[in-house]
Amino acid sequence: MNSNTESLSDEELAGLVQKGDTDKFGVLMERYQAKLFRYGKKFLYDSDNIEDVVQDVFIKTYQNINSFDVNQRFSPWIYRIAHNTYVNAIKKSSVGPMYLFDFDALVSHTVVDDPIVREKEQREMKDVVDKGLSLIEPKYREILVLYFIEELSYKEISDILHIPIGTVGVRIMRAKEILRDAMEKTNIEIPKI
Amino acid sequence: MNTENTQINNIKDQILNKINSGEVNMKPKYYFMLKLALLGVTIFLTFILSSIIVSYVLFSIKVSGQFFLLGFGAKGFYHFIMALPWVILGIDIALIIFLDWLLKSFRFGYNSPVLFLFIGTLASITLLGSLINFTSFHKGLLYRAEQKNLPIAGGFYMGLRKSHGNQGIFRGEIISIEGTSTFYMKYNDYDSDADDMTIEVFVPGNTDVYSLSLNPGDQIFIAGDKMSDGIRAYGMRKLTNEQ
């Protein structure tokens, strides 16, 4: 990666790929593959073909790059593709639908996404969440991965999961409670969350 | 960590090879524009169809005289609810749910709580449906249907100004008034067939026929129960020319 490319934003790189500079897609892959690997590994958990799934994400990203609006942020856009691909992978490997109707998205919820509080909570909770992820269902596991491991904001998670921002806050809260209960049942030591 | 880095580099190289060999291609911009246009047209058509259905339901309630039932106490309210076109309303609710699902493709759609989005689309559709009723759209179709000149949607309009005995709704023309508590009525269901007949109507308990300013020749709407000797009414209203 030369210094000229390094100074370009994801959105600028995506714009160049749209214009036919396919080499720049390699730079985008370098920037996102570690994140998408981590997201996939934590979300899919017991999947042994994570490599194929991540490869699928990048292929879909390239195929659909012309639908990306360079005035928007690239990160939630590629995470959205990853989310859809991972959900399909889970659907293929398990019985029954992953997401039934989400009652948390029925009405509005007031939440405050304070960056200082978020940073502190994300730092404190990261290891705890990592330990207990396998104990909870994918719907709650995913939101904890996006918030605590990938350190995304409520707004970014809302754009990835296509749910209202208020619902993001409520689902994170519920996921923490479920994680706490699951960890208590399995006698895993947990700090106050 | 090293294994992960190797995996990562492998994926990158594999994908770039696929792109360079033409095995993986990006979809052209017009493909997405066409997709967006198709989505827009589907949303527009669903919205219009749903509004027309709502306007039809409002029109049918008005023209059939069904809304009179609301003024006839608890029994009238019960029959009003039972007589609503539930299948059509069910189809419209399904269309609204489909419309909301389509709107979820846009940021304002998925950022809105499901209930608020549903109420918002329902309110917009009801508003447009009410505005359609200010035009002669349904009136024209009703007249054409009654002239047997509306082959496709005629069935929706033909029965609107008929009696529906099973729902306790009767419409007809007063033939003669007999004393203070009964009159004779002729069914007038606009189809001039064998079920047109004259029937005796018993007015509600404490009502005097003369106090209702009824005259032979008046078109009347009756809510009541059909017995072997006639109709025992619990509510009546004179119909206007449009009804």
User: pLDDT above 70 covers what percent of chain A?
Assistant: 87
A chain contacts of residue B111, beta-carbon cutoff 8 Å: 158, 164-165
Give ipTM to 2 decimals.
Answer: 0.77
- Please give the residue of chain B at the shortest CA–CA distance from A61: B26
Tens digits of residue pLDDT in B184-206:
888 655 555 556 678 888 888 77
Tens digits of residue pLDDT in B97-116:
999 999 999 999 999 999 99
| Of residues A55, A159, A165, nearest to B14 (C-beta) | A55
Instruction: Please give, rounded to a whole number of angstroms, the shortest distance from the CA of A35 to a CA of chain B.
Output: 11
Global pTM reads 0.80
Joined together, the tokens standing for residue A168 give: 């993001």
Instruction: Please give, rounded to a whole number of angstroms, the shortest distance from the CA of A184 to a CA of chain B.
Output: 31
What average pLDDT score do residues A13-22 get? 94
Q: Does A34 lie at the interface with B, CB-CB under 8 angstroms?
A: yes
The radius of gyration of chain B's CA atoms, rounded to the nearest angstrom, is: 29
Q: Does A163 lie at the interface with B, CB-CB under 8 angstroms?
A: yes
What average pLDDT score do residues B39-68 get? 94
B chain contacts of residue A22, beta-carbon cutoff 8 Å: 16, 19-20
What average pLDDT does the structure give for chain B?
A: 86
The 10 Å Cβ neighbour count of residue A139 is: 18
Which domains are delineated in chain B? 29-158 (no CATH), 165-238 (2.40.50.140)
Q: For residues B69 and B79, is the Cβ–Cβ distance under 8 A?
A: yes
Cβ contacts of B157-164, under 8 Å, gap ≥ 24: B158/B190, B158/B191, B160/B60, B160/B63, B160/B64, B161/B63, B161/B64, B161/B189, B161/B190, B161/B243, B162/B189, B162/B190, B162/B191, B163/B187, B163/B189, B164/B83
Which domains are delineated in chain A? 3-93 (1.10.1740.10), 103-185 (1.10.10.10)
